Amino acid sequence: MKIILLKDDKNLGKKGEVIEVSDGHARNYILPKKIGIEATPKNINDLKLQKANEAKIAQEQLDAAKELAAKLSELTVVTRIKAGAGGKAFGSVSSKEIATACKEQCGIEIDKKKIVLPEALKNFGGYDVAVKLHPEVTGKLHVRVEEG
């Protein structure tokens, strides 16, 4: 019997593969545990449509990430930290503060976990900060740290 796998299985194969198994194995193990479905022409066609939709959605997400990266490269976000005697900064600027400032100043919501800080921003001045928008797209955001 031909089966389309719905889940990865180390003994059978990867999700979406069409495999040939004995009728008993299919009836007693694969179908009851919902690991796969019978490979009828309708199910095969549905699988092809599903894969096409997933590819389309993935491409749209990639395009949106590239567009956002281009927009971020043109922006500058200003954050403020307190300073002590001699202009020495107290503390540092965190990714949470950068995300909050970006939302308030630019109206763009960025998850703080996607902001990559190579080191703590402890001094005043300008920094280019990487923002991981997609596995294939990393944007740059200019952050200016000022005395406040």
pLDDT tens-digit readout, 98-120: 999 999 998 999 999 999 998 88
Domain boundary among 63, 89, 110: 63
Judge if 30 and 88 occupy the same domain: no
Q: How many CA atoms lie within 13 A of 10 on its CB side?
A: 0
Judge if 106 and 77 occupy the same domain: yes
Per-residue pLDDT band for 83 (boundaries 50, 70, 90) equals confident
Domain boundary among 45, 63, 81: 63
Judge if 77 and 116 occupy the same domain: yes
pLDDT tens-digit readout, 9-45: 999 999 989 999 999 999 999 999 999 999 999 999 9
Nearest to 139 by CA among 68, 75, 76: 68
- Which CATH number does the domain housing residue 107 bear? 3.10.430.100
- Tell me the average pLDDT of the chain: 91
- CA 44 from chain centre, in angstroms, equals 29
5, 34 contact by CB (below 8 A): no
Find the domain containing 27 and state its range. 2-63
Q: Which residues pair with 127 in a beta bridge?
A: 143
Question: In this model, does residue 86 exceed pLDDT 80?
Answer: no
Q: Helix, strand, coil % (nearest 5) of the chain? A: 40, 30, 30
Mean pLDDT of 48-57: 91
